[in-house]
């Protein structure tokens, strides 16, 4: 199980650094009207599109500097045509070669100072002298990254307590070909984001993925970057990505354990990772720590390895720290007659719910009740005439010297009604 330590506001602020915009770049940004033609020089951007049969269109551009010679203009420098977007899926695009919005900042008869913005947000300032063969780059500054950093800093005041701000904060931190592909909310105060990386610009697969985790009021954290097992199927016009499922396996006052399955059904690839997510919080009593360890041990000892099974997890827990009594509900899947992810089988899935209790001085918890039953996910079985039976335990309470849970009474889910089950402590 991998450990993720959530970062609080102070730690997140320390990671953000808003650089100073260089003077020449600021002059470029403050220029309301781009000047491409001066008294002595002018800047020209030539564009070219090149359709490729059976593929797409390649895009190129070139920057030329021309010098006035009386009434005529003569070329004194050219980058030559530079392809920034390819026509074939194996080509690597370089949007830093896409040249936009040139402007002259200064000029004299012998030299010109000019700036351009590239397709990746770099502002580049050059000086060209008549005596030189090539312009000299004086400064490069990524204004797009600067604005993202600005926006992230503005979001910081909200990011710990607002799930929407958390998603925006992460999206403004992404690098090239990274994207938020999916999100999950396994609890009202927990959100998990799945990020994936495209291995190329066209007809791509997700070659890497990463997970971000948010717990309201506690902080945010990120996993390592993991490699997928996906492959290129061939052909054109596809995007092979990943999805995920998230389950909270167990939860304590200052932590939660997650089981996260990342997969692609079409290519029959998946992997399951377990994470221990912890944060700074209030002091935990010795009894609470013992209960948390006991719950983890119960979950670990009731694992079932089957590709169609839902993960074993604790659905609810209650700890009375004054009386040092704890109870929890364990959920397991123990059987299925389904043959595929979307099938239903004759009987469906067999789930088991069990109620566990632990008291101070006890080395191990003990099970006080369990129920198991088959249930189909969607429709009635032609074999039994019912979807099955619901054996769910929920709404766990410690009241006086009793433990109460809700449990559906009856043998057919279509007719079951919720009733209180009461157990003496």
**What was the pLDDT predicted at 183?**
97
CB 242, CB 206: distance < 8 Å: yes
The CA-to-CA distance between both ends of the chain, in Å, stands at: 33
Does residue 235 surpass a pLDDT of 80? no
Higher per-residue pLDDT: 61 or 92 = 61
Per-residue model confidence (pLDDT) at position 352? 98
121 Rama sector, left if φ>0, alpha if ψ -120 to 50, beta otherwise: left
At residue 389, the pLDDT reads 97
* pLDDT digit string, tens, across residues 87-121: 988 888 999 999 999 999 999 999 999 999 999 99
Position 143 pLDDT exceeds 90: yes
Q: How far apart are CA 187 and CA 96, in angstroms?
A: 42
Mean pLDDT throughout 262-287?
Answer: 91
Helix (H) or strand (E) holding 49: strand 41-51
CA distance 398 to 424: 10
Distance CA 415, CA 88 (A): 60
Token pair for 398? 């410690």
- What residue spans define the domains of the chain? 19-141, 157-281, 284-424
161: number of CA atoms within 13 Å, CB side? 2
- Work out the mean pLDDT of the chain and round it to a whole number: 94
Residue pair 410/417 in contact by the 8 Å Cβ criterion: yes
pTM of the model: 0.81
Q: What is the pLDDT of residues 48-58, one digit of tens each?
A: 999 998 888 99
* 402 CB neighbour count, 10 Å cutoff: 12
**pLDDT given for residue 1 in this prediction:** 85
Distance CA 8, CA 371 (A): 41
Q: In DSSP terms, which residues pair with 414 in a beta bridge?
A: none
Phi, psi of 24 (to 5 degrees): -65, -35
Integer Cα distance of 360 and 10 in angstroms = 38
Residues linked to residue 132 through DSSP beta bridges, in sequence order = none
Position 363 scores a pLDDT of: 84
Q: ∠ CA(189), CA(408), CA(317), 5° rounding?
A: 35
The helix (H) or strand (E) run that includes residue 25 is helix 23-30
Helices (H) and strands (E) in the chain, counts: 5, 25
What is the per-residue pLDDT across 145-199, written as a single tens digit (0 to 9) for each?
A: 999 999 999 999 999 999 999 999 999 999 999 999 999 999 999 999 999 999 9
CA 160 to chain centre: 16
């Amino acid at each position: 199980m991998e450990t993720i330590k959530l970062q609080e506001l102070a730690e997140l602020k320390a990671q953000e650094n808003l650089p100073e915009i260089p003077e020449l770049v600021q002059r470029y940004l403050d220029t309301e009207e781009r000047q491409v033609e001066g008294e002595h020089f002018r800047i020209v951007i030539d564009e070219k599109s090149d359709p490729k049969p059976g593929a797409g269109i390649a895009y190129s551009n070139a920057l030329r500097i021309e010098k006035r010679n009386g009434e005529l203009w003569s070329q004194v420098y050219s980058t030559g045509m530079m392809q920034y977007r390819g026509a074939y899926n194996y080509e690597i695009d370089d949007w830093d070669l896409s040249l936009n919005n040139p402007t002259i900042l200064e000029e004299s008869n012998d030299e010109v100072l000019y700036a351009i913005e590239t397709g990746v947000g770099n502002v580049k300032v050059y000086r060209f002298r008549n005596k030189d063969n090539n312009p000299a780059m004086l400064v490069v500054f990524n204004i797009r990254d600067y604005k993202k950093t600005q926006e992230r800093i503005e979001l910081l005041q909200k990011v710990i307590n607002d799930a929407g701000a958390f998603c925006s904060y992460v999206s403004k931190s992404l690098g090239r070909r990274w994207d938020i592909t999916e999100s999950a909310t396994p609890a009202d105060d927990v959100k998990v984001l799945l990020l994936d990386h495209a291995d190329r610009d066209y007809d791509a697969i997700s070659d890497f993925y990463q997970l971000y985790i948010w717990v309201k009021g506690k902080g945010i954290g990120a996993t390592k970057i993991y490699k997928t097992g996906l492959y290129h199927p061939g052909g054109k016009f596809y995007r092979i990505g990943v999805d995920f499922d998230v389950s909270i396996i167990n939860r304590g006052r200052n932590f939660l354990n997650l089981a996260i399955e990342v997969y692609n059904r079409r290519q029959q690839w998946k992997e399951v990772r377990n994470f221990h997510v912890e944060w700074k919080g209030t002091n935990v009593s010795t009894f609470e720590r013992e209960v948390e360890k006991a719950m983890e041990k119960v979950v670990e000892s009731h694992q079932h390895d089957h590709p169609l099974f839902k993960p074993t997890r604790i659905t609810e827990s209650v700890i009375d720290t004054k009386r040092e009594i704890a109870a929890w509900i364990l959920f397991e899947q123990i059987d299925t007659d389904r043959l595929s992810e979307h099938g239903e089988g004759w009987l469906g899935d067999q789930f088991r719910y069990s109620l566990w209790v632990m008291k101070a001085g006890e080395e191990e918890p003990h099970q006080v009740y369990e129920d198991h039953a088959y249930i189909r996910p969607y429709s009635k079985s032609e074999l039994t005439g019912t979807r099955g039976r619901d054996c769910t335990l929920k709404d766990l309470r410690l009241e006086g010297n009793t433990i109460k849970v809700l449990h559906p009474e009856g043998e057919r889910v279509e007719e079951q009604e919720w009733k209180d089950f009461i157990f003496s402590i």
